[in-house]
Amino acid sequence: MIESIRILGVRVDNITMDEALAWVGAMVTTGTPHQIATVNPEFIIRAGRDAAFAAVLQGADLAIPDGQGLLWAARWLKRPLRERVAGSDMVTLLARESARQGYRIFLLGAAPGVADTAAERLRERYPGVNIVGTHPGSPRPEDDAQACELIRRARPHILLVAYGAPAQDLWIARNQPLLCVPVAIGVGGSLDFIAGVQKRAPAWMRRNGLEWLYRLIRQPSRWRRMLALPLFVWRVLTVRNHRGGAK
């Protein structure tokens, strides 16, 4: 049983990366569909005003703590999380596990050509990784049928969906029951990082919770999205009852 806490009403599971990878392996064995949500402060703020997104996060089978801001908030609420489990890191580790265990992986989303390039990079880095398909597709419901047909034919164990939140998470919740892929994960910009379209923050910035600053410097157009971060901090700080805030 995975322990979880609530941060501003959103569930976050207290799990480590090693445990999350083991969980994925166990779910692959079951063969039944499961959804992983990569929860970060932007997700939590968005969920506060988007009931459909909040419902998807609540219904996710695993809600990993993707973001140093969650670790800070959990400490403030006196329910500390053990470590950050970054979705971008999980993607490469799942590729490694695919090479070792034979997991079949499908890459869905990102701009045309990005998933193909990401697949090539992963094959170079992890010889034997079993990427069984890529497709840019679209998060629009009217485009679901084509993507679902390609995925069903490929029969992946793991589906990585890169449409950005909340579109990717809504897409998974809408289609996962029909696809019966054992594990589906919304991975945001991970394929862009792997393909080299976007550069990820240096490790020291990620360790110190400054990845958001690096992305803002490189992509100033993200400033409106980044407003969620100070709003998140303010809301957590103003929680009067720590126990009530963590629930």
Per run of 10 residues, the mean pLDDT along the chain (length 247 residues) is 95 98 97 97 95 98 94 94 96 98 97 98 98 97 97 98 97 94 96 85 62 56 64 86 47
User: Strands, DSSP E only, in 178-217?
Assistant: 183-186
What number of other Cβ atoms are within 10 A of residue 156's Cβ? 25
Q: Burial of 123 by CB count in 10 Å (0-12 exposed, 13-18 middle, 19+ buried)?
A: middle
| CA gap 41, 221 in Å, rounded | 18
Q: Are strands 10-13 and 158-162 parallel, antiparallel or unpaired?
A: unpaired
Q: What is the pLDDT of residues 90-123, one digit of tens each?
A: 999 999 999 999 999 999 999 999 999 999 999 9
**Phi and psi at residue 103, in whole multiples of 5°?**
-55, 140
Whole-prediction pTM: 0.88
| 3-class secondary-structure state, position 132 | strand
pLDDT of residue 133: 98
pLDDT at position 244 is: 45
What pLDDT is attached to residue 230?
A: 85
What is residue 186's predicted lDDT score, i.e. its pLDDT?
A: 98
